[in-house]
Amino acid sequence: MRKMNLKPMMNPHSVAIIGASRNPDKVGHVILQNYINAGYSGKLYAVNKEADEIMGVKAYKSVLDIKENIDLAVIAIPAEFVPQAMEECGKAKVKSLVVVSGGFAEIGNNDLQDKLVSVANKYNMPTLGPNCLGIMDPKSREDTLFLPTFKLSRPQVGGVSFVCQSGAVGSTVLDLIAGEGFGLSKFISYGNAAHVDEVDILSYLMDDPDTKAIIMYVEGIKRGKEFVELARKITKKKPVIILKAGRTAAGMAAARSHTAALAGNYEEHEAIFRQFGFTVAEDLSELLYYAKILSTESFPSGGRTAIITNGGGVGVITADAMASTKHLTLADFTQKTKTALRKVMPPLVNITNPLDLAGDAGEERYGAALSLLSADPNVDMILVIALFQTPGADSRVAAKLISAKEQLDKPLIALSIGADYTKMHRIMMESAGLPVYDSPSSAVKSLDALLKYAKYRNGK
Amino acid sequence: MALLEYFEARKLLEKYNIKSIGSKYVSSASDAVKFSKGSGIALKLISDKALHKSKAGLVKLNLSDAKEISFAYNDLVRKGKNLRPYKILAQEMAPGGIEIIIGGRVDPQFGRFILLGLGGIYVEVFKDFALRLCPITQQDALHMIDQLKSRNVITYNGKSTKHLVDLLLKVSKMISENGSITELDLNPIIIRENGYDAVDIRVLK
């Protein structure tokens, strides 16, 4: 398998922005502005034929004039000039490229794209794109996105890396991730995949210690056999959640056999994802739900789940949702646990699963229930429902859940449904590493996905 | 792509110890009656021009006496006029069971796939199937079964799981080792608690 060195691209110590501009309408302006805003700590160079200086950054006529080591050049100029700029980068020994510019194979301009690939190969420069957003890494403060920060919020540092072929899906999901507490390790939008493709990117992320889980949106896989070879390895190391577009384009009409009629292109992709332990998402929100739980690196040994709640109805709805999954069951607490719970809980609390702590439950009841259930050998996972509209629930309950999460070696998730006051607590808990869900079905599906992945990893 | 002749396809299956139902080409109604030896048979018209036999009324099942057999045979001959060249295949009736499909196909990008699903006429109605890349492991075979909504039906609540897994592994081996197979339909295979019979075999090369 080919091995591209993507380190200079993913974690560059020096960046040249080709097409940096004083004109705020230009893509190159926004990219440079974002690097400055993000507080990028490496060396920054602007390349522009006319200006001497842009936003306080010294500008050069050509990348060849910089005469310093350059790890990454971001190219944001009209497509026709890209191959020439790449030639100059090659001569200047630039280590890697991100070509943001569009106007290549996506509009039928295949010759120009072929030219791009041949220059990339000639100088052995890993090249991302063209027609892509590029890379964002909140930790190294790399940010090649041409979308201003007031339009697209930047996520906090976290353990989830997001690989995305489409720029539009990429920026949408990225904005959603910014609204979640779990945070981002790297965002990589690779557009036309002319040179660097999904296999190269996944190979890099497989060994990236900052990446705990990967979410991925693909339209097509370029190198099928290499992808399968990689798929066998990567999911044994870290979870990969994948959304594949093109579900409905099954080529039914011309098929000669039943097998060919059933097993279209999407089905084949899905089969491979399943076979090699990927978590398949069916829409954008599922990407986030699954990422949240799978990036915690806490894996269950079975599907017996305890539900703790401060609202009876929501507990029942959640138990119902659980019944529709394949592998989750309501845990049957041991006699020892039941006796201990009976002792500490007030008479209005029935000792059953779901365990309804009642609307006036505060941190004490949550704390007692969590510590007893986490010690119960019949419980593999715990789902805690904390409804912050109730009289007993406030930030102390959230804090109790966070400290339980820190001590627990079993998977624990929270379900909190509601508006502003609840959202505040959701972010609080999630930033501390506790996955929080906003609907019974998403919570339950995510636990099911976690269990499925854990089983795959253990070879079951 | 060409359809492999029925008995050649059968020979290929035999090489992998995949059981198929007793069959013979017949050239007259009395030939068919003789084949039946008094027990139930099926008659099928086989032609490159007819891909979906049961939809076209080219499959006659549960023919038990001479009168029924002759009537069915003559009807197939009549329908075959526009489907020449054709042959008429007589088959023993498999003991009752559940119809499943096991199939295979080649994808230029990823390689060779195996499919398991609820079979017979239900294939395209329920689209209840699982697909994996070959060769599969025993674990993969179990996951394929588990993925089906009809898993409890086709495994008789788990009782036939073991021989279904065996069968899947054999077919996967056959698909993997025969590079010239481009598509394969074993549909239906009649599966029972304690055994199975491949009834229709379609191998495209």
Q: Would you call A259 and B133 a contact, using CB atoms and an 8 Å cutoff?
A: no
Task: Name the minimum distance, in Å, from the CA of B47 to any CA of chain A.
Answer: 14
pLDDT at A393 over 50: yes
Note whether residue B9 is domain-resident.
no
- Cβ atoms of B63 and B74 within 8 Å: the answer is no
How many Å lie between the alpha carbon of B97 and the closest alpha carbon of chain A? Answer: 20
CATH of the domain at B111: 3.30.470.20
Same domain flag for B122 and B170 = yes
**pLDDT value at residue A279:** 97
Is residue B44 domain-shared with residue B120, that is, in the same domain?
Answer: no
Rg over CA atoms, chain B: 17
pLDDT digits (tens, 9 = 90+) for B64-86: 899 999 999 999 999 999 898 99
Do B83 and B141 reside in the same domain of the chain?
no
Query: Quick check: B129 contacting A, CB < 8 Å?
Result: yes
Whole-prediction pTM: 0.89
Residues A182/A157, Cβ–Cβ less than 8 Å: no
For the segment A429-437, the average pLDDT, to the nearest whole number, is 94
Q: Which structural domain range is residue B147 located in? A: 98-204
Identify the CA nearest to A291 among candidates A438, A137, A158, A201: A158
Asked if A259 lies within 8 A of B111 by C-beta distance, the reply is no
Distance CA B172, CA B195 (A): 18
Domain co-membership, B145 together with B115? yes
B71 occurs within a structural domain: yes
| In a shared domain, residues B187 and B103 | yes
**A307 has a pLDDT exceeding 90:** yes
**Could you report the per-residue pLDDT of B127-185, keeping only the tens digit for each?**
899 999 999 999 999 999 999 999 999 999 999 999 999 999 999 999 999 999 999 99
> Which parts of A363-419 fold into alpha helices (H)?
363-374, 395-407
Residue A103: predicted pLDDT:
94
Q: Which of A126-135, A148-157, A201-210, A381-390 has the lowest mean pLDDT?
A: A148-157
Q: Average of pLDDT values for A322-335?
A: 95
Residue at which a domain ends, from B72, B92, B112 = B92
- How far apart, in whole angstroms, are the C-alpha atoms of residue A384 and residue B76? 66
Confirm whether B4 is domain-assigned: no
Residue B5 lies in a domain: no
The reply to whether B13 falls in a domain is no
Statement to judge: residues B74 and B128 lie in one domain: no
Element (H, E) at A34: helix A27-38
Q: Do A256 and B51 touch (CB under 8 A)?
A: yes
Whether B113 has its CB under 8 Å from any CB of chain A: the answer is yes
Kindly list the domain boundaries of chain A, sorted by start residue: 7-294, 304-457
Helices (H), B21-99: 29-36, 66-80
pLDDT score for A251:
39
User: What's the CATH fold of domain A7-294?
Assistant: Rossmann fold (3.40.50)
Q: Are residues B87 and B119 in the same domain?
A: no
SS3 B196: strand
CATH number, residue B82: 3.30.1490.20
CB-CB neighbors (< 8 A) of A459 in chain B: 139
**What is the distance of C-alpha A222 from the center of its chain?**
21
Burial A162-199 (b: 16+ CB within 10 A, else e): bbbbbbebbbebbeebeebbbbbbbbbbbbbbbbbbbb
* Number of other CB atoms surrounding residue B136 within 10 Å: 24
pLDDT at residue A146 is higher than 90 = no
Residue whose C-alpha is closest to residue B142's, from A178, A189, A460:
A460
Which pLDDT band holds residue B3 (cuts at 50, 70, 90)? confident
Residues B131 and B200 in one domain: yes
Residue A252 has pLDDT above 50, yes or no: no
What gap in Å lies between CA A302 and CA A318, rounded to an integer? Answer: 18
Query: Are A7-294 and A304-457 the same fold in CATH?
Result: yes
B66 and B127 housed in the same domain: no
Do residues B71 and B137 share a domain? no
DSSP letter for each residue of A354-367: SEE--TT--HHHHH
Q: With respect to residue B12, please indicate whether it lies within any of the assigned structural domains.
A: no
Judge whether B3 lies within some domain.
Answer: no
- Residue among A227, A257, A326 whose CB faces B183 most closely: A257
* Backbone torsions φ then ψ of B87, nearest 5 degrees: -135, 155
Q: Which residues of B touch A258 (CB under 8 A)?
A: 101, 103, 123-124, 185, 187
Q: How many domains does chain B have?
A: 2
pLDDT score of A336 more than 90: yes
End of a domain among B59, B92, B125? B92
Fold of A304-457: Rossmann fold (3.40.50)
B88 and B105 assigned to the same domain: no
Position A7 pLDDT exceeds 60:
yes
- Taking only the tens place, the pLDDT of each residue in B17-71 is 999 999 999 999 999 999 998 889 999 999 888 777 777 789 999 998 999 999 9
Check whether residue B83 and residue B112 sit in a common domain: no
